[in-house]
Amino acid sequence: MDSTPSKPSLIERLSALLTREPEDREQLLAQLHAAFERNLLDADALSIIEGALQIADMQVRDVMVPRAQMDVIHLNDPLDRIAAFVIDTAHSRFPAVGESKDDVAGILLAKDLLRYFAGSAFDTGDLRAVLRPAVFVPESKRLNVLLREFRVSRNHMAIVVDEYGGVAGLVTIEDVLEQIVGDIEDEYDFDEIGDNIRLDRHGRYRVKAMTEIADFNTAFDTHLADEDYDTVGGLVIHQLGRLPKRGESIAVEGLKIQVLRADSRRVHTLLVERDTAVQDTPGG
């Protein structure tokens, strides 16, 4: 019989540390950081706990995809065009709108277009029949409340409305979860690890923030210095003097670099476009 004592679980180690109940969140966080310094918590566990505490203080407007950046399908478009748009953008869900983005008729799941590719009868008139109901939430809703509603309703996307009832943006369950666990593989990520720069259908480039400055210079024929930072994400942070929020941008050497995805810890994905009308393929 093995008499070796079992290793204490994470809960047991935390319980031993938290012998005195913290009086507020600051004390709790201080104790958790002390646990990390004593190797009772690893960095990932500490980050997740901090993220879980943080979302109670965050609102939907802090993480939503702004209205201007929403990829939507238009119900009046031919189905061939809709299918091509779905394939090109590679999202799994799309708000379906009528005359404008304020006229949201429902949510289209990309998988519901499979009947079209399988050759089944499916025309524009049938599209509304396959839409899922849209869920609307206010900009001020707290993220922990929204996450609970997502779990209960099994919805993965909600349309965000402003105080006047207009569409302000959209939010997904991934947007909320990423505040807790960090970046999740999704439609803004790239197919291959080495595929850091990708041209989209609008002639713009989606660039991983981890792309090294030297590679960026080669791709865009720029001459950015790398003494103070190694990556494009570092360049954006250096220019702004802080961690940026989604939608913020900088201008360098005739390029506009806009933040597509970022959280409270780091920048993930950038959108790069030239100021001139002519756009060359990187490296070409």
> How many Å apart are CA 12 and CA 18, to the nearest integer?
10
209's tokens: 């923030």
Tell me the β-bridge partners of 257. 250, 272
Closest Cα to residue 64, out of 158, 205, 202, 197?
A: 158
pLDDT of 118-147, one tens digit each? 655 555 456 787 889 999 999 999 998 999
Task: Mean pLDDT check: name the lowest of 82-91, 127-136, 166-175, 270-279.
Answer: 270-279
Tell me which amino acid residue 63 is: V
CATH hierarchy code of domain 61-181: 3.10.580.10
pLDDT at residue 236 in the model:
92
Average pLDDT of the residues in 255-277: 78
Average pLDDT of the residues in 247-268: 83
23's tokens: 């009086």
> Considering the chain, what percentage of its residues have pLDDT values greater than 70?
76
Confidence of residue 283 (pLDDT cuts 50, 70, 90): very low
Confirm whether pTM is higher than 0.75: no
| Residue scoring higher pLDDT (115 or 5) | 115
pLDDT at residue 6 in the model:
63
Confidence of residue 40 (pLDDT cuts 50, 70, 90): confident
| Residue scoring higher pLDDT (283 or 65) | 65
| Residue scoring higher pLDDT (170 or 179) | 170
pLDDT at residue 4 in the model:
57
Dihedrals phi, psi of 280, to nearest 5 degrees? -95, 150
Q: What angle do CA 24, 25, 26 make, to 5 degrees?
A: 95
| Residue scoring higher pLDDT (97 or 191) | 97
Average pLDDT of the residues in 13-29: 65
Which range of 25-29, 72-76, 175-179 scores highest in mean pLDDT? It is: 72-76
Which range of 3-7, 33-37, 58-62 scores highest in mean pLDDT? It is: 58-62
Q: Is the domain covering 197-274 a CATH 3.40.50.1100 domain?
A: no
